[in-house]
Amino acid sequence: MLLATMIFGAGYVYVNQAGGLRRLLETELSHMVGNGSAAVGDARLTFALSRHPLQLVAENIVINLERGQIDLPDVEIGFGLTSLFGGRPETILLRGIKLDLVKKASGWSGSPAIIFLDQLAKQSNQLEIGKPRSGPIQNRLGGMKSIAIETDRLSLSHENGALPKLVFGDIHIDVTSDDDGAVAGSLRARRLASDDAAAGSFTLSFDGWPGSDSFAFDMSASDLNTADISGYIDRLPVALRQIGILSGHLGLEMTDDLLT
């Protein structure tokens, strides 16, 4: 009880020193993206006996960046015991955001929510510049230890329509990053056919960052229609580019862009 009182009391003091819940969240979100401004519609503070005892929950957030406006319907920011007193959050949960990825010759682009996540990664690189370090340190999530996304729809498309548009539903994404750059995470989703009918489901867990020296993933699928998926995945082995229905488990590991 004493610990809970101390934690809640510290959170109360921290929030009030920051100018209130809305002001605190607007400051934290603006800091995360680096060069934008944030406006929060509604905010509240919750407490739980967990690794992240204080949660700041906000709704109807608008972030203005040079590249455009980002609307975040529901954001939950978590503080651990250490990060609370340091004034830096550890986790962020995004609910109901629009995830629309577009494959281009130059890479990937997407909806404002994708821009927000991309801005987090870029800001993390800037935050690491000038820090004393004994080795290559790079948190890839804008200083967050964990980013989670829960939304009902994700789409993949090609900039000139060269690939059919793919749509997935019931999206659950979790990504963690340590200070030494280690990244791991998972993605769970259902594939939807053109008429929104079910076309299978899958869970994908990964260890490493795509394009890094080492990247491994494990996938479990149930009646997943794999048609057209391979076109969106570079360097996928020929044996895995066959069209069909996938059920079961599949694990791959890549080192220096080579399948091992």
223-251 pLDDT, tens digit each: 999 888 888 877 666 656 666 888 998 88
Q: What is the mean pLDDT of residues 58-70?
A: 80
Q: Can you give the chain as a three-state secondary structure string?
A: CHHHHHHHHHHHHHHHHCCCHHHHHHHHHHHHHCCCEEEEEEEEEEECCCCCCEEEEEEEEEEEECCEEEEEEEEEEEECHHHHHHCCCCEEEEECCCEEEEEECCEEEECHHHHHHHHHHHHHHHHHCCCCCCCCCCCCCCCCCEEEEEEEEEEEEECCCCCCCEEEEEEEEEEEECCCCCEEEEEEEEEECCCCCEEEEEEEEEEECCCCCEEEEEEEEEEEECCCCHHHCCCCCHHHCCCCEEEEEEEEEEECCEEC
Q: How confident is the model at residue 45 (pLDDT cuts 50, 70, 90)?
A: confident
97-156 pLDDT, tens digit each: 888 889 988 877 877 777 777 666 665 555 444 444 433 445 556 567 888 999 999 999
**pLDDT > 90 fraction of the chain, expressed in percent and rounded:** 15
140-193 pLDDT, tens digit each: 565 678 889 999 999 999 999 999 999 999 999 998 887 676 788 999 999 998
